[in-house]
Structure 1
Amino acid sequence: MTISDELPVRLRALAHPVRLGILRELFEQGEVCACDLGSAFGVSQPTISEHLRVLRQAGLVQTRRDGTKICYSPDGAALDWVTAGLDALRPAVPAR
């Protein structure tokens, strides 16, 4: 996938306040099981699962199965990639 294909997918995934909050929580905690996120955001478990699915499909989080639980952690490299993609959109501006 090229930057022009992947960047909109990742930006769409980040364009929801709950998903941004989930990602922030994952960066603060390192790894969190999906079942522990619902109460932090005041939404149902199915809603959290849907938001996590969007983040996973965008490549912004990684998963690990722990028995019946699925634990999520942030993919820092993917977020760096988004930042680099946004920087690439900016036209070169000469230093003043």
Structure 2
Amino acid sequence: MDSSSGSAAPCCIPAQEHGCLPALEAEALAARFKALADPNRLRILSIVSTSPEAETCVCDLSEPLGLGQPTVSHHLKILVEAGLLNREKRGVWAYYSMVPGALTSLAATLLPKGQ
């Protein structure tokens, strides 16, 4: 309280005025970052994103990762659910590609507004 005028002066600016991340958006972002917080999933994204065809068959991931097909499928499911990979079924195989702009969008959430 300001003793000279009797009016209360705010000691700080409320977080909402700073562009604070809303709770629901923070939860969604945390799920996406959690999907990235695994070395095997990061390697999967690296393989898919550097593929000359811009997509990778699930059958081509087990060997470079040194993981069994069920484990690779589990990691792929998490990446698809997080909105980082697209999945397209062709016959008995599934092909994965990057969701356009997904990583750029995630990175942008870490930058101050206006950058």
**TM-score scaled to structure 2, two decimals?**
0.72
The residue type equivalent to 1:21 in the other structure is R
Tell whether 2:79 aligns with 1:55.
yes
- Relative to its length, the structure with more helix (as a share) is 1
Partner of 1:14: 36
The residue type equivalent to 1:26 in the other structure is V
In 2, are the aligned partners of 1:10 and 1:59 still within 8 Å (CA)? yes
Aligned counterparts of 2:34 and 2:85: Cα–Cα separation in 1: 14
Tell whether 2:56 aligns with 1:32.
yes
Q: SS of the residue aligned with 2:105?
A: helix
Partner of 2:12: none
Once the two structures are aligned, what percentage of the paired residues are identical? 37
| Bigger Rg, structure 1 or 2 | 2
1:43 to 45, 67, 84: 67
Runs of 4+ in 1 over 2 A off after TM superposition: none
Instruction: Quote the RMSD (CA, aligned, Å).
Output: 1.9
Aligned counterparts of 1:3 and 1:33: Cα–Cα separation in 2: 32
Unaligned runs of 5+ in 1: none
Aligned counterparts of 1:63 and 1:56: Cα–Cα separation in 2: 7
Unaligned runs of 5+ in 2: 1-23
The higher-RCO structure (CA 8 Å, 6+ apart) is 1
**TM-score scaled to structure 1, two decimals?**
0.85
Measured after TM superposition, the shift of residue 71 of structure 1 is: 0.3
- The count of corresponding residues between Structure 1 and Structure 2 is 90
